[in-house]
Structure 1
Amino acid sequence: MKTVLSTLNAKYIHTSLSIRYLKAYAAPEYNIELAEYTIKDPSMNIVTDLHSRKPEILGFSCYIWNIEETIKVIKMLKKINPSLIIVLGGPEVTYDTREWMETIPEVDFIMIGEGEQSFKQLLDELHGEQNFANVSGIAYREKDSIQIKPQRNKVDLKELPSPYRFDEDLPHLAKRVTYIETSRGCPFSCQFCLSSIEVGVRYFDREKVKDDIRFLMEHGAKTIKFVDRTFNISRSYAMEMFQFLIDEHKPGTVFQFEITADIMRPEVIQFLNDNAPKGLFRFEIGVQSTNDETNELVMRKQNFNKLTRTVTMVKEGQKIDQHLDLIAGLPEEDYNSFKKTFNDVFELRPEELQLGFLKMLRGTGLRLRAADHGYVFMDHSPYEILKNNVLSFEDMIKIKQVEDVLEKYWNDHRMDETIEYLVSTVFASPFDFFQGFGTFWDEKGWTRIGHQLEDLYKHLFDFLENAKKDELHIVSGFMKYDYLRNQKYKPRKPWWNDALEKHERSTIYHAILDNPLILGEEFASKQLSEKDLFKHTVLETLPFNVNHYLKTGKMIEQDSLILVHYDPFHSKTAVYSTALTELDLKVS
């Protein structure tokens, strides 16, 4: 019976680790074909492709992000071929299994929990006597009733075959994210997380994991993401893996980890700061909330002072980018409390700050006790909350307005100096800036359309002009500085009206040619010709001394000039600055 395993990934660059584990475990007795799509692919296209493969057994890996689209595909396929055997697995259908079997009559079997052993046992029965009572960790139909057989034993992770050795995957490794497990389970009990349900942490064979990583790097993998819920729960294990990756990494490879920051020892961070190549590692840290009552209610142990120490040490080392997560909507965290959480975490200036919204996942303690906090949430995936006893729907909408501008204006790092000045000087707090701008953005209808880079600068300027900020002239100077320094090539038409007349620009260029040291020794050493200056540089005036500000963080309102050189041979951008008075010129 031809067997195909499929899933709908969130993005094209993602790969499904789960179906590869099933394929590897079922071999060599069964030769399983894999078929991956994305949730953006039209359902009819997916159905057409799957039908062309002529499967007799078809399995889907189900998550909150793909279950709705997967159901559409299942229903169409079953109408086309009623004899097709449909099997579901994954975290979304592991809980409330009977409900899923009743809701989707087209489904013949559901795998409950870990699927490697259960799926192979199911294949054995489908090819044999079809006595499904012999299969553990499964739900199935028997005449007019639904039978559920719980899992008996967890799989021995050290015995699992590698899911990374399929020839058909090798050509795609460089273009996609590769997910790797070194453990399953989580030592913590956060009541909003599915990982809290499994007791204890189990580890894979370390040497096999290392062999897999070597194999992946040799075949071109560039982004390898560890899916362990707490990679650093064992300090000795984490140190061993960090050392291995430092010693054997290939240039251009990036490793991502989910770490628990408040348990990370300073000596581990110091080791990474001293030994890790810049850009090799990336940390994802779930902060979620800094409200002690909230954390206690969701059984989340967190020492924010120690977390701050870890994030600060890593940031000061300038080797590892950090992605910090927040969750809006946790118990007893009202709008003002969340504002404090946001400001507490933004104070750490992470490279990325992800703003998420609580999802009442099936099987979690928080969903089971939703009434205790007045939770109202979506009936369908992703089960996001709409309100609770301390957070109104209007509050949720306001916080959602922050999300879009936070992503575009902080996480994408298009204008770091501008945003830093706004959140530290112009607005009362970072949250006040992002909330004010987010609300303005939403009211303008910009959420629903695409934007060019220049549009983002214009939108921010429109907001600040509307807010009637006294510092607008200073902020516009920062915006020009950020815009010019972040371009790889000389921009044709900046987003602002040029302040310099043609004759003024020519006068300044000739003054620089006469005395290039006015912009420093590095600039003078380039020995740019008049043609190079006019063709590959941009001049702009700023209303403050940019050199002094960048060195000291102090503002001196003194007209200065920046010259930005776009090196056509090395695709490098360099910024040089001087006070206008140093040129002994009067520029309007």
Structure 2
Amino acid sequence: MPLESMPLASGYLKATALADDRIRDACDISIHNFRGGTTNATMANALFSDEPPDVLAFSVLGWNYRSFASLAATFKQLNPDGWVVFGGTHVAEQADRVFRMFPEVDVVVNGEGELTFRDLLNCYLDGVDKHALHAVAGVSFREADGTTCHNVARDRIEDLDIIPSPFLTGALEMTDADGNFRYDVALMETNRGCPYKCAFCYWGGAVGQKVRAFSPERLRAELEMFGRLKVHTVVACDANFGLLPGDVEFVERLIETRDRLGFPRALETSWAKNKSKTFFRIVKMMKEAGMRSSFTLALQTLSDTALDTMNRRNMKVNEWEDLAAWLDEEGLDCYAELIWGAPGETVQSFMDGYDRLSRRVSRIAVYPILLLPNTDYMEKKEQYGIKSVRGDNDDFEYVLAHNTMTFAENQQMQRFLFMARVVAENAVLRWIWPALRHLAGITQSQVLRHLDTWISTTDDPAAAPLRGYAATAVGGTGAFGAAITYLYTDPDAERMLLRWWDEAIRPLVPAEAAPVLDEVFRYDLLTQPVYRPADRPVGEDLPVVLVRDEEYYLRSGVRLRYDVPAIVGAIRRGAEPDLSPVDFTVDLYYRTGSESAVTSTNHEIVVHFMGMTAAEVHDNARGSAEGLSEAEFEATSASRSAEAGTPAPDGRTTIGMLKADKGGCS
């Protein structure tokens, strides 16, 4: 990714440690934020080329478990007396396995890490032996004889404000050398805790089932900082945002900050599974204010049998259709989540659920089931007949088969999941789904299967890259990012999609609907993010305009034979669209800087770079000019050309912290 991913957890650890006067005076703490794909050798040279630290702490998840173990082994060669600390959900409560596999690890932190990490550093400064950490609650460690000692669990942090803000304290660097916000999005927590115990998830177990909130005053101050740094998107890293009444105040402050400073302009989060009056109030506020978000239906399955094994019967998931219909009719962006391969699920039940869901929500995030440590599914493998395999480059267990899913069925479905994730979830196509369903009776799953079949048999050389990426899907770790980037950025990929449409989909369409659907499909391609326009075909040298302190590429005077936004909007509202041909002209605006979003495979962020009409940009860029008409808004868009660690002093303890970044290590 061109931009960094914010190392929020490491920021919390550093800020809490430095709030202790003794640690602040005695220690230098540095955060090493490595990008995904960085090799172990590169990280080792960056960490140890000057002098290895005294304490090396890792925030561990399945994708960096082995890499971090390798770095720990190198560290112990250079500093045998140094401490290696592992924390994170993948190793919490798993110390016996960690120590058995990686004897270089000295301590495993179980649960929330801020206060535990502070206490460990004070033990180090006190000269406590790393094999005698009996006084530190919430850790497991190896005693001198090699046996594992599991200390008493640490109580959950009730008053979250005792964790200093990593933003307001400067524990996290917020800007780059040019003074610009350095991360792709701003991550923040408004609360901690999850009231559910889903069989596939450890969120509630890791941070507790009781939900605790940060104070409104702290959150307001953080939003103020993000507004002044011109942060476009805030991601609230909460399990169930919209569950607490205080979430309303947070959104009110977010909107007020945007209106006063122009930023932030979008909120992404994991929305509450059960949608209460609080949720609907927040959605209404955000719509009226033009504050963008992707509202989530975290269903995971529509199979009653699978819901039982997931421990999700207490969620009102059967009410999702009314909610999806309401969001659709309000014209609000919505996506859903499904997990393939849960015990109790079959191919038929999953596909039935997918198409039932896609009638209301086209952007469906579909993921293969993984077995995670400390979860109910992991503990009941034998009961469900689960057969699994460890990943090649990670430490997750990939489910291959179980009592209601054969090996062959799983392989078949992995191909479907690949196409669904690349094309539908990541919005390579998004306008065409409701139009095809309404005007041609073609379901979303049918379209995706036709694409898979076509790329497998066509002689078009542009299909070869996608065919190769899809072939990796059977192992459950398909090259999704490469496929998405290819479809969004390569002119040959656009030509290939047009040929696929003509050869595989258009023959299935009623003759009277074909001209309309042709134009909707063209609009899909036209509104994809602009990614390095110099690499686009001749004639795509788009000017950059400045709209409320944010840059957009402008594609002016796009002519269509039908009013596509109006047609699709009517279908989404449940109304009959007017299919009369018109000479429809529209200006399309695209946020610059899509490169990080496209390559990150983050569908929640990439949608903010899609082509928008002037009216949509007007809503998105409200704030200092609230109340301007659309014409006045356009008049204020100013065109312009596209432009395109020091070693610690003697006697001070050094602490290196490495934080997990999805898809790599940081």
TM-score of the aligned structures, taking structure 1 as reference length = 0.77
Matching residue of 2:546:
none
Matching residue of 1:148:
150
Matching residue of 1:33:
30
Confirm or deny: 8 A CA contact 1:404 1:447 kept in the other structure: no
Matching residue of 1:397:
411
Q: 1:435 to 1:183 in 2, by over 3 A?
A: same
Matching residue of 1:128:
126
Residues 1:431 and 2:431 are matched in the alignment: no
Amino acid at match of 1:190: C
Matching residue of 1:184:
192
Amino acid at match of 1:297: T
Confirm or deny: 8 A CA contact 1:164 1:216 kept in the other structure: no
Amino acid at match of 2:271: I
Cα distance in 2, alignment partners of residues 11 and 291 from structure 1: 40
Question: Offset of 1:29 from its aligned partner?
Answer: 2.8
Structure 1 stretch displaced more, 390-399 or 20-29: 390-399
Residues 1:483 and 2:560 are matched in the alignment: no
Residues 1:268 and 2:280 are matched in the alignment: yes
Residues 1:48 and 2:39 are matched in the alignment: no
Deviations 1:218-252 (A, max 9, x none): 23333221111111222x22222222222223424
Structure 1 stretch displaced more, 480-489 or 86-95: 480-489
Cα distance in 2, alignment partners of residues 75 and 353 from structure 1: 41
Instruction: Return the match for 1:223 from 205, 229, 233.
Output: 233
Matching residue of 2:6:
15
Deviations 1:37-61 (A, max 9, x none): 1231122111100113531211110
How much identity, in percent, do the aligned residues show?
18
Residues 1:325 and 2:323 are matched in the alignment: no
Amino acid at match of 1:159: I
Amino acid at match of 2:386: Y
Q: 1:436 to 1:82 in 2, by over 3 A?
A: farther
Matching residue of 2:350:
338
Cα distance in 1, alignment partners of residues 613 and 112 from structure 2: 51
Residues 1:95 and 2:93 are matched in the alignment: yes
Cα distance in 2, alignment partners of residues 11 and 384 from structure 1: 30
Question: Offset of 1:316 from its aligned partner?
Answer: 2.8
Amino acid at match of 1:67: Y
Q: 1:307 to 1:120 in 2, by over 3 A?
A: same
Cα distance in 2, alignment partners of residues 311 and 46 from structure 1: 45
Cα distance in 2, alignment partners of residues 387 and 79 from structure 1: 41
Question: Offset of 1:81 from its aligned partner?
Answer: 4.0
Cα distance in 1, alignment partners of residues 565 and 369 from structure 2: 44
Matching residue of 1:383:
397
Q: 1:80 to 1:414 in 2, by over 3 A?
A: same
Amino acid at match of 2:416: V
Instruction: Return the match for 2:376 from 365, 383, 396.
Output: 365
Confirm or deny: 8 A CA contact 1:427 1:433 kept in the other structure: no
Secondary structure of 2:104 counterpart: coil
Matching residue of 2:251:
242
Confirm or deny: 8 A CA contact 2:11 2:172 kept in the other structure: no
Matching residue of 1:355:
366
Q: 1:547 to 1:94 in 2, by over 3 A?
A: closer
Q: 1:441 to 1:386 in 2, by over 3 A?
A: farther
Question: Offset of 1:26 from its aligned partner?
Answer: 0.9
Confirm or deny: 8 A CA contact 1:284 1:323 kept in the other structure: yes
Cα distance in 1, alignment partners of residues 304 and 371 from structure 2: 21
Structure 1 stretch displaced more, 440-449 or 36-45: 440-449
Cα distance in 1, alignment partners of residues 577 and 499 from structure 2: 20
TM-score of the aligned structures, taking structure 2 as reference length = 0.69
Instruction: Return the match for 2:164 from 161, 165, 188.
Output: 161
Confirm or deny: 8 A CA contact 1:138 1:148 kept in the other structure: yes
Matching residue of 1:314:
327
Greater relative CO, 1 or 2 (CA 8 Å, sep 6+): 2
Matching residue of 1:501:
none
Cα distance in 1, alignment partners of residues 558 and 334 from structure 2: 33
Deviations 1:110-168 (A, max 9, x none): 11111112111111111114141111111222223222213232223232211213165
Secondary structure of 1:136 counterpart: coil
Question: Offset of 1:415 from its aligned partner?
Answer: 4.5
Secondary structure of 1:32 counterpart: strand
Question: Offset of 1:94 from its aligned partner?
Answer: 0.3
Based on CA coordinates, which of the two structures has the bigger radius of gyration?
1
Matching residue of 1:455:
493
Structure 1 stretch displaced more, 549-558 or 111-120: 549-558
Deviations 1:60-119 (A, max 9, x none): 100123223322333333334434321111111103211111101111211111111211
Instruction: Return the match for 1:465 from 461, 486, 503.
Output: 503
Amino acid at match of 2:322: R
Deviations 1:190-216 (A, max 9, x none): 111102323322222232222222223
Amino acid at match of 2:156: K
Cα distance in 2, alignment partners of residues 555 and 161 from structure 1: 54
Question: Offset of 1:291 from its aligned partner?
Answer: 1.4
Deviations 1:505-540 (A, max 9, x none): xxxxxxxxxxxxxxxxxxxxxxxxxxxxxx987888
Matching residue of 1:171:
175
Q: 1:75 to 1:149 in 2, by over 3 A?
A: same
Question: Offset of 1:388 from its aligned partner?
Answer: 1.3
Question: Offset of 1:492 from its aligned partner?
Answer: 5.4
Confirm or deny: 8 A CA contact 1:422 1:475 kept in the other structure: no
Q: 1:419 to 1:225 in 2, by over 3 A?
A: same
Structure 1 stretch displaced more, 112-121 or 391-400: 391-400
Secondary structure of 2:165 counterpart: coil
Deviations 1:235-283 (A, max 9, x none): x222222222222234242221211253322883486257642243333
Matching residue of 1:502:
none
Amino acid at match of 1:64: G
RMSD: 3.7
Q: 1:453 to 1:345 in 2, by over 3 A?
A: farther
Structure 1 stretch displaced more, 252-261 or 467-476: 467-476
Confirm or deny: 8 A CA contact 2:243 2:279 kept in the other structure: no
Matching residue of 1:118:
116
Instruction: Return the match for 2:267 from 242, 255, 267.
Output: 255
Q: 1:265 to 1:340 in 2, by over 3 A?
A: farther
Amino acid at match of 1:162: S
Matching residue of 2:641:
none
Q: 1:275 to 1:336 in 2, by over 3 A?
A: closer
Matching residue of 1:526:
none
Confirm or deny: 8 A CA contact 1:223 1:255 kept in the other structure: yes
Cα distance in 1, alignment partners of residues 43 and 84 from structure 2: 15
Matching residue of 1:499:
none
Q: 1:547 to 1:410 in 2, by over 3 A?
A: closer
Q: 1:331 to 1:484 in 2, by over 3 A?
A: closer
Confirm or deny: 8 A CA contact 2:447 2:505 kept in the other structure: no
Amino acid at match of 1:386: L
Amino acid at match of 1:170: M
Cα distance in 2, alignment partners of residues 312 and 386 from structure 1: 35
Q: 1:295 to 1:485 in 2, by over 3 A?
A: closer
Question: Offset of 1:322 from its aligned partner?
Answer: 2.4
Secondary structure of 1:221 counterpart: coil
Amino acid at match of 1:373: Y
